[in-house]
């Protein structure tokens, strides 16, 4: 695992599916879904990757004491195509949630983890039939793991990594990305999987690998990058009856009553080598961390081992229910056992909303949309320094483009697209790859009125790229 734990690096950052980007001009023109960008400063590696706003660099304020640097990394994993044995550090650590194992119209019958727990208890004399606790009252990790592992999946895909040399010459190569997902429900036609946004953003050829080793194509239904949550889907028609009998649906638990010191189990695709189990306690609650200028609040800290590939995996209580989603860890000399998870209570509404969105696949080039803007990223550092909202600052709007017709103007700051949060050009570009020309979407943006930015929304009919 490559953590880039440089003592002189004081920045919190994602490293997961994000390959270090080129710190160049980040002005880009969004033309279509084929990444036809001009003067691009991002590498299309993640919705979180963004280069600093380049026009005016704020001065750094000196501190009265030296702070030891730590590196916060996200627990996805990325394998470099340059050398098969070299692993790049990717250390990001439809329907309602199903609560039964009843067959639906498809005839696919999938048990819940609670059913699995009950079955484990019945076959283990040390466990009661209504709980997975041992007679001593301590957590039985084996019982939790046995019941919950069938609800975990590996999420594998590919991404294009772009880089440039000192002399400005660019090159790109394809790398393989791997993370974890949690089966949380099913509709009449799809199996629904929750994971981290950074696990699936900007990923091609996404595959879901189930606990029995079988795999199926997987599509992203939607993501909220500012919360690092995404929902993906697998068609039930692509799941055999044998696989359906070997997997399970996890149950999301209210995490508001979690106690410090409570025992937990973490499951995830550590190092991209398949699901593994670790255990620990809740070390702290309501923690905040900032990574790549994105701040996450209300997090749980745990000392359970979270490693590359664990992103999107489950943090489970003694009943085998998911109380949080693992996504990051602190990695530095002298720092151990500081991993972070997103409490279910913080994102339950987001998950429910994303589960109902239309499942999309990338559109072909002949159906590519055209938005017609050139923009730069406003990171949280520059936002706080200049008083701007965090988002995508429009620098130019092409005449008669989709953006122009929708009323978007220069200096407007885009913050949302089709009910999904978007704060970087790379994130917006990634989303646009799944929309066709002619579709109508809502864009949320800030518009300057007097001396203040006011949040507004507008409906945009995506256009077609004009012939050059």
Catalytic amino acids?
Answer: 198, 228, 311
Helix (H) or strand (E) holding 425: helix 425-432
Say how far apart CA 380 and CA 99 lie, in whole Å: 40
Owner of token pair 């917006």: 428
- Could you please report the per-residue DSSP string of 321-387? -EEEEEEEEEEBTTB-S-EEEEEHHHHHHHHHHHHTSPP--PPPGGGBEE--EEEEEE-HHHHHHHT
Owner of token pair 């002619």: 438
Say how far apart CA 305 and CA 233 lie, in whole Å: 28
What the block records as the tokens of 51 is 């280069």
Question: Which 8-state DSSP code applies to residue 252?
Answer: B
Distant-in-sequence, close-in-space partners of 443: CB < 8 Å, separation ≥ 6? 406, 408, 414, 416, 417, 457, 458, 459, 460
Contact (CB, 8 A) for 177 and 90? yes
Burial of 248 (0-12, 13-18, 19+ CB in 10 A): buried
Contact (CB, 8 A) for 256 and 239? no
Q: What angle do CA 8, 385, 404 make, to 5 degrees?
A: 115
Say how far apart CA 392 and CA 262 lie, in whole Å: 41
Owner of token pair 């122009």: 404
């Amino acid at each position: 695992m490559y953590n880039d734990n440089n003592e002189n690096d004081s920045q919190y950052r994602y490293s997961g599916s994000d390959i270090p980007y080129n710190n160049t001009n980040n002005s880009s023109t969004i033309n279509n879904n084929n990444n036809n960008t001009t003067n691009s400063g991002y590498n299309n590696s993640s919705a979180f990757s963004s280069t600093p706003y380049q026009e005016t660099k704020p001065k750094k304020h000196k501190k009265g004491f030296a702070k030891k640097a730590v590196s916060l990394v996200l627990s996805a994993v990325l394998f470099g195509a340059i050398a098969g044995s070299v692993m790049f550090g990717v250390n990001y650590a439809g329907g309602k949630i199903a609560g039964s194992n009843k067959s639906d119209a498809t005839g696919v019958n999938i048990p819940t983890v609670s059913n699995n727990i009950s079955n484990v208890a019945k076959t283990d004399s040390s466990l009661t039939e209504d709980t997975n606790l041992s007679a001593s009252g301590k957590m039985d990790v084996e019982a939790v793991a046995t019941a919950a592992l069938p609800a975990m999946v590996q999420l594998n895909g590919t991404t294009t990594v772009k880089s440039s040399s000192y002399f400005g010459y660019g090159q790109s190569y394809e790398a393989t990305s791997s993370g974890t997902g949690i089966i949380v429900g099913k509709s009449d036609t799809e199996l629904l999987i929750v994971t981290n946004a950074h696990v699936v953003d900007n990923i091609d050829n996404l595959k879901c690998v189930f606990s029995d080793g079988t795999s199926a194509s997987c599509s992203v239904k939607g993501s909220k990058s500012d919360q690092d949550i995404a929902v993906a889907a697998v068609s039930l028609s692509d799941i055999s009856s044998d696989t359906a009998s070997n997997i399970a649906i996890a149950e999301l638990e209210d995490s508001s009553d979690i106690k410090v010191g409570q025992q937990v189990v973490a499951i995830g695709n550590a190092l991209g080598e398949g699901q593994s189990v670790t255990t620990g306690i809740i070390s702290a609650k309501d923690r905040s961390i900032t990574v790549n200028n994105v701040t996450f609040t209300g997090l749980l800290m745990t000392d359970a081992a979270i490693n590359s590939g664990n992103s999107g995996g489950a943090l489970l209580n003694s009943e085998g229910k998911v109380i949080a989603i693992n996504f990051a860890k602190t990695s530095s000399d002298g720092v151990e056992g500081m991993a972070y998870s997103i409490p279910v209570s913080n994102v339950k509404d987001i998950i429910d909303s994303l589960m109902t969105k239309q499942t999309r696949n990338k559109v072909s080039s002949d159906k590519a949309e055209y938005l017609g803007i050139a923009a730069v990223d406003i990171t949280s550092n520059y936002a706080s320094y200049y008083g701007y909202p965090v988002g995508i600052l429009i620098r130019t709007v092409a005449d008669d483009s989709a953006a122009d017709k929708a009323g978007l103007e220069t200096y407007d700051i885009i913050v949302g697209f089709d009910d999904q949060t978007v704060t970087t050009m790379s994130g917006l570009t990634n989303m646009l790859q799944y929309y066709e020309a002619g579709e109508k979407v809502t864009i949320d943006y800030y518009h300057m009125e007097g001396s203040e930015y006011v949040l507004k929304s507008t409906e945009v009919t995506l256009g077609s790229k004009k012939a050059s």
